[in-house]
Amino acid sequence: MVTIQIERLQEDDVTTETAHSLVTRIMKTIRTQYQSAKLPEWNPTQCDIYFEDSMLPDGRPYFLPLIILRTKPCSWLLRSGGCTTCNYQFVAALSDRSVTDEQIISQTKWALEKLRPLERYPYIHISSAGSFLDPTEISDQVLVRICQLFDEAGVQILGFETRPEYLLNKRRLKLVRDGFSRSFAVGVGLESVNDFIRNVCFNKGFEIDLFVKAVQALRDHDMEFFSYVLLGKPFLTVAEDVQDAVETIRFSLQQGGLALLMVANLQEYTLTHWLWERNEYKLPKLWAAIRVLEMLEPEERMKVAIKAIDKAVPPPKAFAANCPNCTSIVSNAIVGWDLTGDYGLIERVQNCCDCKKEWNVEFDSKPVLPLENRVTEALARMMPEVLARFGETAS
């Protein structure tokens, strides 16, 4: 990794090569706020459950239960400060909190008990505070036991999510495959097909080749996958953001997966929150999500759901919205899209409000500088301020 002399940082020192180490440094520094943050109430034998508007493979509308286990935090967060919009690990065993294998199994049992009668839920998604296949979060023993519990409960499709590197661990993948006898749906945070955007704007820390290898491993084990694709990436213009999401969705579909368009929401202790406080970041409008669907071909968009417009863990400071006159109309049309896949719902709201015209102007505006220059300039500007604000506690 390239080292940078932060104390004497000039804009010219930040290049596309050094930008990644800089964003990592910034993220780690921003995350030091965790130490003084008021953490949510902690009960290591219970976990979070929420429900996503969704469809079953046969097209029936469905509320998909998501079980979020309280485990050790995401390893990538600890190593690199984590992804620039994510605060998921806030539900994890942060600071002096700890959780044992036995407790994680208790959480799973508690969740399955809460969801009874389980016949209603043929498809259940379970995740940890980072990657379900990361052995520091979920041990071998726990992994096998959880899969068995879902198998015994008669669940038809088991969903989980993980960073791609853990999918290359064939032994762990086999443990999962052997522990649960029916179908899998594995979520991988691809976010962008573009390495620079993924790693510098998002601090995601993996190359596209790794993603391709990971989904190949899933195919080898006869497991389905879907990608998370972020809409609302920092530093991108509205048009760049939409275009990047469309390209990323297409890449995911070409690899044989589905795509979840994750509309950014505002989480504290993130890079986007820092930028937002300084008027350098805005959440996307719901129009952007609508535009992504519009730009896709009918057979492509059928494989895309739009997520995070109204619920997230932990509860965010703000969700993406349009103007007060049309937010609930467009938001409900998106809910309808996720539940039914009926594109007529989107067509009927796509110009339902005058605020769309303002958004179109924003969409058509061109940036002065190329993206790489804008990002490196912004990072160079941010770094001293981030350090001054939070001190150089991150090493």
Partner 1 sequence: MTVTPALIAQTMKTIRQEYTETVLPKWNPREGCIYFEEAWIGHKQPYILPLVILKTHTCRWLQKSGGCAMCNYQFISAFENRINDEDILSQARWALDRLSPIERYPYLHLTSSGSFLDPLEISDQVLTQTLSMLDSAGIETFSTESRPEFLLNIHRLDLIKRSFSRQVTFGIGLESASDHVRNYCLNKGFDTDSFLEAINTVKAYGMSFHSYILLGKPFLSPREDIEDVLRAIRLTLENGGIALVMVANLQPHTLIHWLWQRGKYELPKLWAPLKILELLEPDERERVWIKGLDKGVPTADMYARNCENCTTVIHNALVGWNMTADFSLIEQVRDVCDCRQEWEGHLNDKIDTTVDQRLAQFYEQEWPSIAEQFTAARA
Residues in contact with partner 1 by the rule CB under 8 A: 49-51, 53, 60-63, 120-121, 310-311, 315, 324-325, 328-329, 332-333, 335-336, 339-340, 342, 344-345, 347-349, 352
CA–CA gap between residue 320 and residue 263 (Å, rounded) = 7
Whether the CB-CB separation of 1 and 362 falls below 8 Å is answered with: no
Sign of CA dihedral 176, 177, 181, 184: positive
Q: Which is nearer to partner 1, 329 or 394 (CB)?
A: 329
The pair of structure tokens assigned to 226 is 């879907």
Q: Could you tell me if 54 and 305 are in contact, meaning their C-beta atoms sit under 8 angstroms apart?
A: yes
Distance CA 249, CA 207 (A): 16
- Least distance (Å) from partner 1 to the CB of residue 113? 12
- Tokens 């969740």 -> residue: 111
Rank residues 55 and 271 by Cβ distance to partner 1 and give the closer one. 55
**Nearest distance from C-beta of residue 119 to partner 1, angstroms:** 10
CB of 88 to partner 1, least distance (A): 17
Beta sheet of 224-231, edge-to-edge order: 48-55, 61-68, 123-127, 157-161, 183-188, 224-231, 258-263, 304-307
What is the residue type of 97? R
Torsion angle defined by CA atoms of residues 51, 52, 57 and 58, in that order, rounded to the nearest 10 degrees: 80
Nearer to partner 1, 258 or 329 (CB): 329
Distance in Å, CB of 321 to partner 1, minimum: 12
CB closer to partner 1 out of 121 and 225:
121
Phi, psi of 254 (to 5 degrees): -60, -30
Minimal distance in Å, beta carbon 183 to partner 1? 19
Nearer to partner 1 among residue 2 and residue 42 (C-beta):
42
Query: Least distance in Å: CB of 298 to partner 1?
Result: 16
User: Which C-beta is closer to partner 1: that of 79 or that of 120?
Assistant: 120
**What distance in Å separates the CA atoms of residue 190 and residue 13, rounded to the nearest whole number?**
29
Nearer to partner 1, 175 or 302 (CB): 302
Distance of closest approach, residue 333 Cβ to partner 1, in angstroms? 6
Q: CA 277, CA 291: separation in Å to the nearest integer?
A: 27
CB-nearer residue toward partner 1: 12 or 41: 41
> C-alpha dihedral over 328, 329, 330, 336, to 10 degrees?
100
* Shortest CB 47 distance to partner 1, Å: 13
Based on CB atoms, which residue is closest to partner 1, 310 or 372? 310
CB of 21 to partner 1, least distance (A): 39
Instruction: Write down the residue that tokens 């190949």 correspond to.
Output: 216
Is residue 326 within 8 Å of residue 290, measured between CB atoms?
no
Question: Smallest distance, Å, CB 56 to partner 1?
Answer: 10
Q: Give the pair of three-digit tokens for residue 5.
A: 């002399």
Q: Are 184 and 157 in contact (CB under 8 A)?
A: yes
Q: Among residues 351 and 365, whose Cβ is nearest to partner 1?
A: 351
Residues β-bridged to residue 263: 231
Indicate if the alpha-carbon torsion angle 89, 91, 96, 101 is positive or negative: negative
Alpha-carbon span 336 to 53, nearest angstrom: 8
